[in-house]
A and B are shown apart, each in its own frame.
Chain A
Amino acid sequence: MAQMTMIQAITDAMRTELKNNENVVVFGEDVGQNGGVFRATEGLQSEFGEDRVFDTPLAESGIGGLAIGLGLTGFRPVMEIQFFGFVFEVMDSVVAQAARMRYRSGGVYNSPITIRSPFGGGVKTPELHADNLEGLVAQAPGVKVVIPSTPYDAKGLLISAIRDNDPVVYLEHMKLYRSFRGEVPEEEYTIEIGKADVKREGKDVSIITYGAMVHSSLKAAEELEKEGISAEVVDLRTVSPLDIDTIIASVEKTGRAIVVQEAQKQAGVGATVVAEINDRAILSLEAPVLRVAAPDTVFPFAAAEDVWLPDYKDIVEKAKTVYNF
């Protein structure tokens, strides 16, 4: 076991797969010699060569087309979109092309592509760097969407994503890149895509969440504990498809739930989680399932992040509302 930050775990996962499979190629803007704007690909080009890890021209759509073409010729592309706010440039390649490749060819072709991209607020980035756009891709049939919150999850899920024979959007929250270290095995391991993880057991209220909000929820759970409320924190880890079994098992146990996301209330996947709970566990519910989410405005100007982003206090408040319903 080693102590790693999430970004180190991500690099380690890519190194593992570059070593394991000669068809794995890593590319994007500044991912080569520079090692990526966040150092996620640090050292990979010097270790594996320019043929395996390389820079691209500055054009997200072209990067998507390159990945699809390489996928058709036997490669296993790991492409990077420098910030997920730039996904609009490559939406067609991701949701209208790669996501549909297997279907539109009746199973003849596939797109074994991993799309890595940083996102997330709290680090005062300029415009369109931090937007939470997972809801857009989660709506696209044919693509899976993974969002890790710990170094351990990050490595196991990225290895799984790269090995998946269908496209996976793998979103890395910028605030979690280096904010803490965690135990990460040095050897290879995988975590199944589509499986949630109970990060804290509890019996009074389920907090269902993902990304940076996992940590805010864990902090909220500590605060709630002081007031005698036992919160269970479910980290979705994959936001499409959802791990219905884990979500429902938790709700059936606690009888109360809130769904917590950093995205605006009209975005993200919170509404889908609520709908699934309503469909499947309404008889277990002692209270409605409420949501913690950002206001439905454009992502805030950097200096307004603190008042805009949901935080642990919002979660505590909402959990109490549900608890006292």
Chain B
Amino acid sequence: MSLIEQVEKQFETFQILSEDGKVVNESAMPELSDEELQELMTRMVYTRIWDQRAISLNRQGRLGFYAPVAGQEASMLGSQFALDKEDWILPGYRDIPQIVFHGLPLYQAFLYSRGHFQGGQIPEGVNVLMPQIIIGAQIIQAAGVGVGLKKKGKKNVAITYTGDGGASQGDFYEGLNFAGAYNAQTIFVVQNNRFAISVPVEKQSAAKTIAQKAVAAGIEGIQVDGMDVLAVYSAVKQARERALNGDGPTLIETLTYRYGPHTMAGDDPTRYRTEDLDNEWTKKDPLVRFRTFLEGKGLWSEEQENKVIDQAKEDIKAAIKKADAAPKQKVTDLIGFMFEELPHNLKEQLEEYKAKESK
């Protein structure tokens, strides 16, 4: 066996639920109560509806920048569900669901989408950063937060997310490597949805898995079925325990798919994806398989699902209304957020714009 084959063998896909909702890895089953299992499903359904509504609101011009998430619910919400309230999340631009379920109010997520400063004003006690646009920057920052938590003796971790394309960035490697060198309390998640806009993952790297990139940093790496919410939850839970035991950071690759376009800014996936591939991944829908699993246990019904859908729609309506009510931004607001104490040039410009705004 070649060296490369030997390495790849170490990164076989971790799965708990099969595509038809059967438990295929009983010994790895995470300990979750019935209520927790239902809560996971609730969040996934809620997010699917939110994604549909966000796409539609974007088309109506009532939302701005939006990166669709349908298909990635298990990867996003299963991972966040394994966190403690005080853990830090450093999201990428697509990772809004994680920070919302970590405590960012939905209307603020909508304001972020529209480009309003209130979208970034994270409530106190909610340990999340604003979505990161520079792909890879969140990775080196998460290494830093993980070092900081360790230095402060906190029993918390930092978790950060990027995509398959992001794993080609220098900051991706530097972040993993720094975290490894300092034994940081950090979890790195790569959501491999097979495409970076139009570029397939095969064009990013000759490596057969992204998880094996952990080897370059000397840290743990695991590839997970990212359409399997229990496998994702379990992998993050274990990575968290490992970090808090002082056993270092982990790289988790979730194999997932986005059913929608890259963003709502004119991307058309039919230009680079085949119908066959879409169909193949539709069969793996994280909601379908978890619904089957829960129904088998008598924990989920159509009625419950409809209740979640109605709740989601109602919340979204209320959140958009609240976002509409946010005050219009003024240049004097923006100046005010630049520094703790304004330097000379900004003091001068503040006066200029104050006068302009009072006209």
Question: Footprint of B on A, CB under 8 Å?
Answer: 25, 51, 56-57, 59, 61-62, 64-75, 92-93, 96-97, 102-110, 141-142, 144, 164-166, 194, 241-245
Contacts and interface: CB of A to CB of B under 8 A. Distances in A.
B143 interface: yes
Contacts of B235: none
Given A70-B148, A73-B152, A104-B130, A65 B141 contact: yes
A65 B160 CA distance: 13
A142 B342 CA distance: 10
Contact of A59 (B142, B174, B346): B174
A110 B339 CA distance: 9
Given A57-B177, A59-B178, A106 B338 contact: no
A103 B141 CA distance: 17
Contacts of A25: 151
Interface in B169-203: 170-171, 174-175, 177-178, 181
Given A51-B151, A73-B152, A241-B343, 8 more contacts: A59-B178, A61-B174, A62-B177, A65-B178, A69-B141, A73-B154, A105-B121, A106-B120
A61 B120 contact: no
Contacts, number: 136
Contacts of B170: 61
A241 B345 contact: yes
10 contacts: A65-B175, A70-B151, A73-B149, A105-B129, A106-B120, A107-B336, A110-B340, A141-B338, A241-B344, A242-B344
Contact of A92 (B134, B337, B338, B345): B134
B165 interface: no
A108 B118 CA distance: 10
Contacts of B175: 62, 65
B255 interface: no
B78 interface: no
Interface in B130-173: 130, 134, 137, 139-149, 151-152, 154, 158, 170-171
A62 B143 contact: yes
Nearest to A62: B174
A73 B338 contact: no
A26 B336 CA distance: 30
B137 A92 contact: yes
Contacts of A57: 174, 177-178, 181
A93 B140 contact: yes
A107 B177 contact: no
B148 A62 contact: no
Given A61-B171, A194-B344, A108 B147 contact: no
Nearest to A105: B120
A238 B144 CA distance: 29
A316 B354 CA distance: 44
Nearest to A195: B344
Given A104-B120, A106-B121, A65 B144 contact: yes
B143 A66 contact: yes
Contact of B144 (A72, A102, A108, A164): A72
B334 interface: yes
A59 B337 contact: no
A99 to B, nearest CB: 9
Contacts of A67: 144
B117 interface: yes
Given A57-B181, A62-B174, A65-B174, A74 B337 contact: no
A191 B250 CA distance: 45
Chain A CB within 10 Å — which of B122, B130, B339 has the most?
B339
Contact of B140 (A64, A104, A166): A64
Nearest to B347: A241
A62 B178 CA distance: 7
B140 A107 contact: no
6 nearest A-B residue pairs (beta carbon): A69-B144, A65-B140, A73-B148, A241-B343, A62-B174, A106-B121
A61 B334 CA distance: 28
